[in-house]
Structure 1
Amino acid sequence: MSAAVREDLAAARAHDPAARGDVENALVYSGLHAIWAYRAAHAMWRRPVLRAPARLLSQLVRGLTGIEIHPAARIGRRFFIDHGMGVVIGETAEIGDDVMIYHGVTLGGTSLERAKRHPTLGDRVTVGAGAKILGPVTIGADSAVGANAVVTRDAPADSIVVGIPAQARPRKPAQHEPLVDPTSYIDPAMYI
């Protein structure tokens, strides 16, 4: 468990330029609290006798963080939720490694069937604030879903997915690079 916590703290530092240190992040980042509680609830969920307590834990954490993650969802390593409030991750959702999502994101279902009804996100997917990914759709690895997109269809790997309804287009190589080169960035606040 401690290795996973260290990985999550490293993911927070890597994804959030406001992250100032592991101790502060561990104390104040609701996304980290939610994923750590999810991991405990998920371990409980795998034992049928503990499913009710797992749901109770997930609902308690929802009340404390504003982030709802069903304990049956499957989430990979180094998952990071930035800001967090209003995030919903449904029961049959599957999330790969190194995924980042922002506040207001819903990985929701579109059916009442007892089957796969929530999205699958491949490795290294980023989902922008307010995006809704609905149904048993797959977002391929290394894709980005734009803010407020409403996704109801699969997107191949290396896609940019934007709009209502969302459309996928190939991601250009330059779109994998950060908008600002951190080695050459000059903080305007240094002149104040």
Structure 2
Amino acid sequence: MRFAEDLRAVRALARAHGPATLFDLSLVYLALFRLGSGLYRRHRIFAPVRLFEKLLELVFGIHLPFTADIGGGLVIFHYHGIIINGGARLGRSCRLHARICIGNRFPGDGAPVLGDGVTVGTGAAILGPVEIPAGTRIPANAVVTPRSLAAFIPARNGGDHGPDQGERRHRAHGGL
């Protein structure tokens, strides 16, 4: 079912940006990922599925273990260089751009949790046990850790503060 949501999301992009979107190899990757993930979750076949996972990583340049909990409607733009921790959770309708890392800071550290509709810009890194609220947009080349998370989340009172304001606040209070 999650692949059907992925396909609907890509079709919506194709309607908005042209049919060339349908020929992006990230859609092929998502189909194969959903197949492998389903086999792993239903049958717990470790060795052949793990080999398939590594083959996908080699061919597509995406490290996304089948143990990761990835919601439906995922869209991957420019699929190369993506690393996602096997313990990470991504909500529905997330958008991932190239060369991102969603993982832990060191062995044994927690993995990130992304809410629904989160967009992660090119080159961004989300590291450690952080929860990114639904609808958040992580800008390109941002580094989000538990200590820097507030800089990337819009204020609750309807205002918005960008990474530059959060960066100044962190520097004033001891920084990262």
TM range, smaller chain? 0.7 to 0.9
Change (3 A) 1:84 1:36: same
Change (3 A) 1:18 1:83: farther
Which runs of no fewer than 5 residues in structure 2 stay unpaired? 161-176
Deviations 1:45-84 (CA, angstroms, capped at 9, x unpaired): 2257512222211111112212221110000010111111
Corresponding residue for 1:20? 19
Change (3 A) 1:19 1:53: farther
Are 1:140 and 2:147 counterparts?
no
Residues 3 and 72 of structure 2 are in contact (CA less than 8 Å); yes or no, is this contact kept in structure 1?
no
Are 1:151 and 2:144 counterparts?
yes
Deviation at 1:15, TM superposition (A): 3.9
Instruction: Write out aligned runs for 1:3-14 (5 A).
Output: 4-14=2-12
Q: 1:54 is aligned with what amino acid?
A: V
Corresponding residue for 1:179? none
Deviation at 1:36, TM superposition (A): 1.8
Are 1:120 and 2:113 counterparts?
yes
Corresponding residue for 2:47? 52
Residues 127 and 144 of structure 2 are in contact (CA less than 8 Å); yes or no, is this contact kept in structure 1?
yes
Q: 1:139 is aligned with what amino acid?
A: I
What CA distance in whole angstroms lies between the structure 1 residues aligned with 2:153 and 2:93?
A: 22
Q: 1:81 aligns with which of 58, 76, 85?
A: 76
SS at match of 1:107: strand
Change (3 A) 1:49 1:7: closer
Q: 1:14 is aligned with what amino acid?
A: A
Q: Which has the higher strand share?
A: 1
Identity percentage of aligned residues: 34
SS at match of 1:83: coil
SS at match of 1:63: helix
Q: 1:140 is aligned with what amino acid?
A: P
What CA distance in whole angstroms lies between the structure 2 residues aligned with 1:81 and 1:170?
A: 24
Give the count of matched residue pairs: 158
Deviations 1:5-34 (CA, angstroms, capped at 9, x unpaired): 44322212334654406xx72xx3222222
Q: Which has the higher helix share?
A: 2
| TM-score (norm. length: structure 1) | 0.71
Which runs of no fewer than 5 residues in structure 1 stay unpaired? 156-160, 176-192
Corresponding residue for 1:31? 26
| TM-score (norm. length: structure 2) | 0.77
Deviation at 1:170, TM superposition (A): 1.4
Higher RCO (CA < 8 A, seq sep 6+): 2
Corresponding residue for 1:168? 152
What CA distance in whole angstroms lies between the structure 1 residues aligned with 2:38 and 2:26?
A: 18
Residues 39 and 49 of structure 2 are in contact (CA less than 8 Å); yes or no, is this contact kept in structure 1?
yes
